[in-house]
Amino acid sequence: MSKLDLILMSIKNLWRRKLRTSLTILSVVIGTSAIIVMLSLGFGLTGFMEEQISQWGSLTTINVHKKWADPSQPGQKEVKLDDKAIANFKTIPNVVAVSPMLQEYGAVINGRYMAQVPFRGIDPDTMEAFGFEAAEGRLLNNKDELVVVFGSSMIHNFWDPNSRGVWREPKINLMKDRMSLTLDPNYGYGGASMGMGGGKEVNYKEYKIKAAGVLTEGNWETSYGIYMPIQELQKMVADKQKAEGQRQSSRSTSTEYNQIDIKVDDMNNVAVIQDLVKEMGYEAYSLNDQLDMMKEQAAMIQAVLGGIGAVSLLVAAIGITNTMIMSIYERTKEIGVMKVIGASIKDIKGLFLFESALIGLLGGIFGVGFSYLLSYVINKFGAQSFGEAMGVYGATKISIIPIWLVFASMGFSALIGVISGYFPARRAMNLSALEAIRTE
């Protein structure tokens, strides 16, 4: 018996029992769609969490800090965050850029308006590599002096200290207005600023600045801050310490930094490089630490949801088995005739396995289509409420069906059909041809 004959005969047998076949296929549709939709909810949660964390900052940036010596380990040696450390970090494979980072707080003055913000010193040559993009103007370069780049939300930070509690939207043009900055921690709050001992008034310098550009929106880490060349900020910190009567600290020089940022080429390489930096004696942190924790939670939710869907598919497998066994009882005489006219045991087995596989495959195909419909409904009408129930706020697309899941589901449903039809096929193989023919 040829393969084509087996296929045509299987389709004909299933078509003769349309109602039973349809109901069995329906059970596979429900089971397949249940698994796909349940898993898609897990994928949606993972994707949304990754999107949310990426807005906090870059997932490919590692923040390196100095690790202080443990008093309980006398032999432990402190390592410095200096130019030598930067050179060592640059030699690590898959590292795109390395930049020291210096942060100080102060005020920006724009006429009668002001804003208390963090000033961040950075290596201008690395801004593009670290993903900074200018919505207006340009990024920094090494020739800039007293030139800054504003975060995207900085325009909303300005306020009038003399407004007496009445807030009005300030009319400010960050690119064109004349502005100055100071590292005076009490600027705009009234009263004289005092030194470290609080005994004398401190006269902090004010620096006239010029805007080079404004960053694009979408990154919370860079939205509220002002960036400038690190050498410029180091000079300002030195002036501040001098005004306060402090001894100049190493943080205001180029010999040692309080933080170094490492840009990695791919998110998958972050964990390896982060561990390597820790082995070198530093503290290292990245947003991937937070993402890994969230992924573990999402994986647990996904496993539970997938298990619920698997129960439905198990019930469908039992239905396929029942359908094929009933088919054997009804076609016992037909099986006997096939054996008498020369059909091999292999042909009998193949006939029943193909029928059960076809039921599984058709159920999988229709199940995929039904899953897309359910996914659309969930995303359209239930994403926000479901996301809030799962502790995820602001979700707009909570069900995601990757293309590989579509083909995997169809293949798995066909496999379930084959497995479910294996026992009935063996039963058909073992029937005696004479006894089958005598059966009424």
The per-residue pLDDT for range 324-355, each reduced to its tens digit, is 777 766 666 666 666 666 667 777 777 778 88
* pLDDT above 90 as % of the chain: 16
| 252 is a domain residue | yes
Same domain, 49 and 104: no
Let me know if residue 70 belongs to a domain: no
Q: Are 151 and 215 in contact (CB under 8 A)?
A: yes
pLDDT of residue 254: 45
Q: Do 137 and 7 lie in a common domain?
A: no
Q: Are residues 351 and 408 in the same domain?
A: yes
Residue showing tokens 């059970």? 27
Question: Within a 10 A sphere around the Cβ of 366, how many other Cβ atoms?
Answer: 18
Domain that holds residue 177: 79-265
Residues 140 and 180 in one domain: yes
The answer on 127 and 41 residing in a single domain is no
Note whether 357 and 405 are same-domain residues: yes
Indicate if 91 and 153 belong to the same structural domain: yes
> Any idea which of 45-54, 132-141, 299-308, 367-376 has the lowest mean pLDDT?
45-54
What pLDDT shows up at residue 155?
Answer: 85
- Amino acid type, 402: P
Answer yes or no: do 51 and 145 share one domain: no
pLDDT at 392 over 60: no
Q: What is the mean pLDDT of residues 168-179?
A: 84
Going by pLDDT thresholds of 50, 70 and 90, the confidence category of residue 251 is very low
**Which of residues 64 and 348 earns the better pLDDT score?**
64
pLDDT tens figures, 107-166: 999 988 888 889 999 999 999 888 888 999 999 998 898 999 999 888 888 888 777 666
Whether 298 maps to a domain, the answer reads: yes
Q: What digits encode the pLDDT tens for the residues 186-208?
A: 887 655 455 544 556 778 899 99
**Residue 173 included in any domain:** yes
Taking 80 as the threshold, does the pLDDT of residue 32 lie above it?
Answer: yes
Q: Above 90 in pLDDT, residue 229?
A: yes
Tell me the CA end-to-end span of the chain in Å, nearest whole number.
26
Using the predicted structure, report yes or no on whether residue 57 has a pLDDT greater than 60: no
pLDDT > 70: percent of the chain: 78
In the predicted model, what is the mean pLDDT of the chain? 79
Q: Which of 226, 104, 103 is nearest to 153 (CA)?
A: 226
Last-in-domain residue among 213, 248, 265: 265
Query: Is a pLDDT exceeding 70 seen at residue 267?
Result: yes
Same domain, 358 and 218: no
In a domain, 206, yes or no: yes
pLDDT at residue 250, as a whole number: 45
Kindly state whether residues 47 and 166 are assigned to the same domain: no
Domain boundary (265, 283, 311) is at 265
Q: Is 333 helix (H, G, I), strand (E, B) or coil?
A: helix
Examine the pLDDT at 304 and tell me if it is beyond 70: yes
Number of domains in the chain: 2
Is 119 inside a domain boundary? Answer: yes
Q: Which of 238-242, 368-372, 377-381 has the lowest mean pLDDT?
A: 377-381
Q: Which residue from 73, 77, 71, 62 is spatially nearest to 281, judged by alpha carbons? A: 77
Q: Which of 318, 403, 305 is nearest to 360 (CA)?
A: 318
pLDDT over 90 (residue 45): no
The answer to whether 264 and 273 are in contact (CB under 8 A) is: yes
Kindly state whether residues 186 and 244 are assigned to the same domain: yes
pLDDT of residue 167: 64
Residues 338 and 418 in one domain: yes
Distance of CA 249 to the CA centre of its chain: 40
Give the pLDDT score at 210.
93
Q: Is 288 within 8 Å of 271 (Cβ atoms)?
A: yes
φ, ψ of residue 36 to 5 degrees: the values are -60, -45
